[in-house]
Structure 1
Amino acid sequence: MNEPIAATGRQFEITHGAARAVVTEVGAALRVFEIDGVPYSETYDPDERPPAGAGAVLVPWPNRVTDGRWSLEGQPQQLALTEPDKHNAIHGLLRHTPWTVTEHADTTVVMQAMVPVQPGWPVPLLTSIGYTLTSDGLTVTHTVENLGSRAVPFGVGVHPYPRAGNAETDDCTLRLSASSVLPVDAERLLPARPPRPLEGDEQDFRSGRLLAGVELDTAFGGAEPAPDDPQRLVRHRLTDPSGRGVEVWADPVFGWVQVHTPAEFPGRGRAVAIEPMTCPPDALNSGTDLVVLSAGECWTAEWGLRPLT
């Protein structure tokens, strides 16, 4: 008799010294990242569906597509409305798909999935994600390959919930590299106006803001490396009152970041998602910052979590 498996499928653990991460088979989601037992991302039970999109991999688009509609070379496309209450398609096509492990070593797990041709998506893609623990934290590597015969635009996003150790979320300070914000409508969370600069704005997090009393489900743009950053990485930080915490770093192609502050993350209460994205909400319609892959072309980019101690 087969043993039952978790709702999120098999669990793949990797370790490096005192660091430990766990990735799920379903959705290839990051479920655990901790060092010496101290959490640097929110976690959940493997028999739960990932709460509030925790750890999700968002391919071939992050965030929302208005009415699930877009067009490719003038051909209308209709995606399934996976956010039916808002009449949107949301967060890509692979959140509930079992991924195949192609490599699993002590410090690394690499998983692969196909986006097949289907209603609303006419070009097949092969995508992989690799999680690697090092002495500096967790590095996540994405690849997307166009298996079709024509070019296709796409975007990539991820949905981690970084955590500044055992500190309460409301006691933490959020710093973002982003220099603009995308206004959205209140009902469907879709772009309502062009991005606006954040100079002197209450949503300007570049110098850091305490999260107490802050409620966000907001896309920020203009995320760029600091001029003096030798690694040329985008960096967002969540820190406790002592300055300890976690950094979400990303390649410059992740020029957008969605920040969400749910009030009731299971077992935690207030939490904060800091979600690197290559493009903004509804990019399949606006075209803003989409990556275009020619037939046979392969794309790769990285982001990661680095403890600040």
Structure 2
Amino acid sequence: MLPTGQQLEISAGPARAVLTQVGAGLRAFSSGGRPYVETFAEDRRPPRGAGTILVPWPNRVAKGRWTWRGEPQQLALTEPAGGNAIHGLLRHTVYEIRERTEGSITLGAIVTVQPGWPVPLDTDIRYAVGEDGLTVTHTVRNIGGAPVPFGVGAHPYLRAGDSETDDSVLTLSAGTSLPLDGGLPAGPTVPVSGDLDFRAGRPLRGRELDHAFGDCTPTDGLVRHRLAGPAGEVEMWAEPVFGWVQVFTPDDHPDRGRAVAVEPMTCPPDALNTGVGLIELAAGEEWTGSWGIRPLS
């Protein structure tokens, strides 16, 4: 069995995507043969979280500790170096295929009751491709007997066609940034300014980013971030509930070196403790939210 399990391809018109059954991750997306996310070999684990789905929280929980209904919770410390819990509970789960057509696939998994997580959730991720690109729709259902808060995120690395990352310009709709220390909040959100104001677009050359941005302002009803380079341009759109975005620029992505992750999130790092951006589901309740990737050139 491959590290990411079965490779699941969907296509429609010029668009093609490859998903992984382990973690329900996005391994590849292209349109007209032009790549719009960074990919990786099918015999590898996702490097630097590439394409990963982040449920029931994105980013980190400090020391894996949080409190639910007055009861302390202790999650497994899945980021040992920092002593934190990171990126949810389903990254290494084999999802079931719940529905499949040529151009779409729905993958599902259950977040079980376990140390640090008190209420079970049933989750779906539907990927669909078409003329307008890729649409990703998350559905989360509370199948337990009590309310529970949660967050959702994803970890795609955008690519402006064959443009090098350092030759690309990033535009974000974010109006604030959250100071981080070791990936955890180190102060209140502040208005973006200087080198952290990407609203009018900024070149990525020379910029080292691992930053959380908030107050993402919708345009025509959707949050919109863009990456543009000499060989292409791509938009990440999201429903307004994805009011946060993490931007990460590692220099060790396989085959590409410098890369840029643009991660839509419903809440910022350590939200299980701060409460910022959390969604609460009552028993039996369901939530749905979507984001996507649209080639512009």
SS at match of 2:140: strand
Q: Does 2:242 match 1:249?
A: no
**1:202 pairs with 2:202:** no
Q: Paired residue for 1:274?
A: 262
**Deviations 1:224-250 (Å, cap 9, x if unpaired)?**
203xx2xx00000000137x3110000
1:161 aligns to 2:157 (yes or no): yes
Q: 1:224 aligns with which of 208, 217, 230?
A: 217
> 1:17: Cα distance to partner?
1.4
What CA RMSD, in Å, does the superposition of the two structures yield over aligned residues?
Answer: 0.8
Kept in 2, the 8 Å contact 1:94–1:115? The answer is: yes
Deviations 1:34-55 (A, max 9, x none): 1222111000011100000000
1:284 corresponds in structure 2 to 272
1:264 Cα deviation from its structure 2 partner: 1.1
Structure 1 residue 177 corresponds to structure 2 residue 177: no
The answer (yes or no) to whether the contact 1:262–1:270 under 8 Å persists in 2 is yes
Q: Distance in 1 between matches of 2:276 and 2:15?
A: 37
- Measure the CA separation in 1 of the matches of 2:259 and 2:80: 24
Partner residue in 2 for 1:294: 282
C-alpha distance in 1 between matches for 2:228 and 2:14? 21
- Classify the secondary structure of the residue corresponding to 1:170: helix
Q: Does 1:73 align with 2:69?
A: yes
Q: Is it true that 1:261 corresponds to 2:255 in the alignment?
A: no
TM-score by length of 2: 0.99
Q: State the alpha-carbon separation in 2 of the partners of residues 67 and 44 from structure 1.
A: 30
Maintained 8 Å contact 1:173/1:241 = no
Aligned counterpart for 2:54 among listed residues 51, 58, 61: 58
Structure 1, unmatched stretches of 5+, are none
- The number of residue pairs the alignment matches comes to 297
Q: For 2:6 and 2:195, locate their aligned partners in 1 and report how far apart those are by CA, in whole Å.
A: 43
Residue type matched to 1:57 in 2?
A: I
- CA distances 1:83-122 after superposition (whole Å, capped 9, x unpaired): 0100000000000100000111100010000000000000
Paired position in structure 1 for 2:44: 48
Shift of residue 272, structure 1, vs aligned partner: 0.2
Instruction: Tell whether the 8 Å contact from 1:63 to 1:280 is kept in structure 2 after alignment.
Output: yes
Matches within 5 A, 1:116-135: 116-135=112-131
More strand by share: 2
State how far apart, in whole Å, the 1-side matches of 2:124 and 2:190 are. Answer: 34
Say yes or no: does 1:233 pair with 2:222.
Answer: yes
Cα deviation, residue 19, structure 1: 1.3
Matched residue of 2:272: which SS?
A: helix
Question: 1: CA distance between counterparts of 2:122 and 2:209?
Answer: 33
Report how far residue 201 of structure 1 moved. 2.4
Quick one: which amino acid aligns to residue 302 of structure 1? Answer: S
In 1: Cα distance, 2:202 partner to 2:230 partner:
12
Find the residue that maps to 2:144 and give its secondary structure.
coil
Partner letter of residue 189 of structure 1? G
2:203 partner letter: L
Distance 2:202 2:47 in 1: 25
- Deviation track 1:222-280 (CA, whole Å, cap 9, x = no partner) reads 01203xx2xx00000000137x3110000000000000001010001100000000000
Matched residues, percent identical?
A: 61
The answer for unaligned runs of 5 or more in structure 2 is none
CA separation in 2, counterparts of 1:154 and 1:18? 35
Q: How far off is 1:160 after superposition?
A: 0.4
Cα distance in structure 2, aligned partners of 1:156 and 1:64: 12
Structure 1: which 4+ aligned runs deviate by more than 4 Å?
none
